[in-house]
Amino acid sequence: MYFRMISYSEIIKPEFLDILLAHTPHKKEKLPEKLIVHSEKTLEYYHELSKKLHLLRVIDNIVNPLFPKEYLPLIHEMIECIIYCHDFGKINPIFQKEKMSNSFKFNVTDMILTSNHSFYGKILFDVIFSQYFFEKISKIDSEEKYRNRAINLLFLLFILLLGVLGFW
């Protein structure tokens, strides 16, 4: 079962979706990998692993004692969102210019940024997705303790993202 989640097309202007890069070409590839393609492939791979390893059942078994059933789709969406948006910081124009040698035109003369995609990605992710998920959590009709647990889980997932991004 897959869940409707926020996508890059909802937060990035369409003219940038096709030019933002995630990776430079590997040995066998001639073209760099686009960020949107990389994110979609990562999510597809998660779905394949999820089917093969029954990850949704595993997640549900962990979550069921802590939350009512109406939280399960939200928790699955939060996990998928972390996976899909793990490289969100690569929208940083300095990263695109310096690390991806991406030559699309943007004005960065007044920006005080570095090419560190992890740091900026974490900030952007926290701001955009915390608001998105706080709103979804607040709309679930349940006891406050469950809403608080969902917020705590969201922060835990944000901390796990730090590890994925190499913050430790």
Residue 48 to residue 42: CA distance in whole angstroms: 10
Residue 129 to residue 141: CA distance in whole angstroms: 20
Q: Tell whether the model's pLDDT for residue 3 goes beyond 70.
A: no
Question: Where is pLDDT greater, at 119 or 16?
Answer: 16
Q: What is the mean pLDDT of residues 113-135?
A: 73
Nearest to 127 by CA among 11, 34, 9: 11
Q: Tell whether the model's pLDDT for residue 165 goes beyond 60.
A: no
| Cβ-based burial of 152 (10 A; exposed 0-12, middle 13-18, buried ≥19) | exposed
The model's pTM is: 0.80
